[in-house]
Amino acid sequence: MKKIIIAGAGHGGLTASYHLAEKGYDVTVLEFCQRENMGHDWHDAMDFSAFDGSGIPRPSEDMYSFGLPTGFTNPAQTIMLRIPFQEGKGIYMDRKVLVNYLVDEAEKNGVSFIFGAEVISAITEGERVIGVRYKKDGEDTIALCDLLIDAAGMHSNARKSLPLSCKIEKEMPPMDIFHVHRVYLENTTGETIDPPYTIELFHMNRPGIDWILTEEDKVDLLIGKFGTSGKLTQKEIDDAIAAFRKRYPFIGDKVLRGGKTAEIPLTRMLPLIVCDGYAAVGDSAGMTIPLNGSGINLSMKAGKILADTVIAAGEKPLTRDVLWQYEYEYFQKHGKDLVMIDILKNFFTCVTGEQVDFFLEKEILTSKELDFDGEEGIQITPEYIMHILSVSLPIIGLVPSIVKTMKFMPFIETVAKQMPKTYDEEKVDKWIKKYKAL
């Protein structure tokens, strides 16, 4: 049976490991953290489709709570866009609980884990990945494999170490990085706000998204800034928390959890995520919703597609043309719709807080477009983007970015459709050129 190594216990890698081990593959996950330190000290919003759509059994009821009604507000706080609440659909799951659950499920199927192992680089022979170099307890080790699945997040060493000839992007562009600070503070009175989970667009006119989620015992705050405006400073974090506290005096000083700064990729899928003996999944492949950075549902679904591709290959070597099926299928099912959101995000990173007020007050941006997980699916179409661009034309400062975006709008759907179904180097190179130009 083929030997599969997974760099990093990311969600997509764990999902793939679960299915591959179930079919008898020899699967080992190399994870930087010790088991007890895995996962972040906060909860995540996701939905059952992460499990149902990835073939992982749903966790037991004590592992999650149901999502709360959500709304979006503008910098002037004159509008509240309420997202239609679907009882029993969205869930919150503690990151540590989720990661440990996925590790437990994978272990039950026979996956081996090496915790405290830092992947240093992929080992290549020409353009083919044949293994991985990692460090554990100060010792350098080499492990060979038929496939290296890269689930080590956006700054993955494995991806960065690939030879240039593999044509896989090494770095996420700095402007596609969302810098966030997450903290849970004490709720001193037990009051909550309506809706309890409110996302503030361009809070304090900072290009980015903040949120406040109030529960009787705690207030969960996220302060986020788009990479186009640089990294988040301590002063911006302090000012944002002070502004929330001024409005909601029940937010106490006592830090209950989190208090950490992190980065999330806000990008469309990388143009190429596979090469001979290598496939990236999750944040390492740019699989998030480019406006809000949610990536768990997408990573887990991608992990299942990847496992299915490997299983379908049977005895064939896992070359780029075999693994291309995974990239193609992920892009058709999820990636292509997210290109629209990425384009909208690129446009939004150039606007000001006042312009965001204008878009919400004039009902140009409504709850329909912001409900990414709604019944109707993603509602951001080329027609919608053309609409938002044309109504924005009177805003003089936006003209250059509008004209630039409008120029390639007619090509978006065509480029998505033109993605080659089977791998042919020349055709794929041509497609990538067009995809990157969008």
Minimum gap (Å) between residue 248 Cβ and ligand FAD: 20
- Minimum CB distance to ligand FAD, residue 81 (Å): 19
Give the whole-angstrom CA distance, residue 72 versus residue 197: 9
- Residue 349, classed as helix, strand or coil, is coil
Structure tokens at 10: 């990311």
The verdict on 206 binding ligand FAD (CB under 6 A) reads no
Q: Is 10 in the site for ligand FAD (CB under 6 A)?
A: yes
**Segment 134 to 163, residues that bind ligand FAD, using CB under 6 A:** 151-153, 157
Query: Is 198 near ligand FAD (CB under 6 A)?
Result: no
Among 44, 176, 337, 369, binds ligand FAD (CB under 6 A): 44
Stretch that binds ligand FAD, among 185-193, 278-286, 342-350, 364-372 (CB under 6 A): 278-286
Residue 106 binds to ligand FAD (criterion: CB under 6 A): no
User: Considering beta carbons, is residue 115 or 411 the nearer one to ligand FAD?
Assistant: 115
3-state SS string over 370-430? HCCCCCCCCCCCHHHHHHHHHHHCCCHHHHHHHHHHHHHHHHHHHHHHCCCCCCCHHHHHH
Examine residue 15 and tell whether it contacts ligand FAD (CB under 6 A). Answer: no
Among 4, 5, 6, 12, binds ligand FAD (CB under 6 A): 12
Cβ distance to ligand FAD smaller for residue 102 or 339: 102
* 346 touching ligand FAD, by CB under 6 A: no
67 binds ligand FAD (CB under 6 A): no
Question: How many other CB atoms are found less than 10 A from the CB of residue 29?
Answer: 27
10 or 227, CB closer to ligand FAD? Answer: 10
Q: Can you tell me the distance from the alpha carbon of 333 to that of 166, in angstroms, rounded to the nearest whole number? A: 24
Q: Is there binding between residue 195 and ligand FAD (CB under 6 A)?
A: no
Contact between 341 and 378 under an 8 Å Cβ cutoff? The reply is yes
Closest CA to 437 of 421, 420, 414, 208: 414
Give whichever of 196 and 282 is closer to ligand FAD, judged by the CB atom.
Answer: 282
Q: Does residue 373 come out as left (phi exceeding 0), alpha (psi in the -120 to 50 range) or beta?
A: alpha
Binding to ligand FAD by residue 221, rule CB under 6 A?
no
**Binding of ligand FAD at residue 33 (CB under 6 A)?**
yes
Q: Which range in 3-11, 62-70, 121-129, 231-239 contacts ligand FAD by CB under 6 A?
A: 3-11
Q: Around Cβ 354, how many Cβ atoms within 10 Å?
A: 13
Q: How far is the CB of 187 from ligand FAD (least distance, A)?
A: 20
CB of residue 406 to ligand FAD, shortest distance in Å: 30
DSSP 59: P
Q: Are 144 and 122 in contact (CB under 8 A)?
A: no
Half-sphere exposure (CA, 13 Å, Cβ side) for 68?
Answer: 18
Q: Shortest Cβ distance from residue 97 to ligand FAD (Å)?
A: 13
Q: Encode 79-98: b = buried (16+ Cβ within 10 Å), e = exposed.
A: bebebeeeeeebbbbbbbbb
What is d(CA 384, CA 234) in angstroms, rounded to the nearest whole number?
37
Q: Least separation, in Å, of the C-beta of 136 and ligand FAD? A: 10
What tokens does 78 get?
A: 């004159």
If binding is defined by CB under 6 A, does position 8 make contact with ligand FAD? Answer: yes
Does 262 interact with ligand FAD (rule: CB under 6 A)? yes
Residue among 81, 145, 148, 180 that touches ligand FAD (CB under 6 A): 180
Count CB-CB contacts under 10 A for residue 53.
18
List the one residue from 4, 20, 21, 45 that touches ligand FAD (CB under 6 A): 45
Yes or no: say if 87 and 66 are a contact pair by the CB < 8 Å rule: yes
Residue 51, phi then psi, degrees to nearest 5: -85, -50
The tokens of 314 are what? Answer: 């049977």
Residue 364 token pair? 């140009």
By CB under 6 A, the residues from 283 to 322 that bind ligand FAD are: 283-284, 288, 293-297, 299
Euclidean distance between CA atoms 6 and 278, whole angstroms:
10
* Euclidean distance between CA atoms 322 and 172, whole angstroms: 25
Task: Give the residue with the Cβ less far from ligand FAD, 38 or 380.
Answer: 38
Residues that bind ligand FAD (rule: CB under 6 A) add up to a total of 34
Task: Specify the stretch interacting with ligand FAD by CB under 6 A; choose among 24-32, 101-109, 232-240, 399-407.
Answer: 24-32
Min dist CB 30 to ligand FAD, Å, is 5
Amino acid at 25: Y
Question: How many beta carbons lie within 10 A of that of residue 438, not counting itself?
Answer: 17
Q: Kindly list the residues in this chain that would bind ligand FAD in the complex (CB under 6 A).
A: 7-12, 30-33, 38, 44-46, 118-119, 151-153, 157, 180, 182, 262, 264, 282-284, 288, 293-297, 299
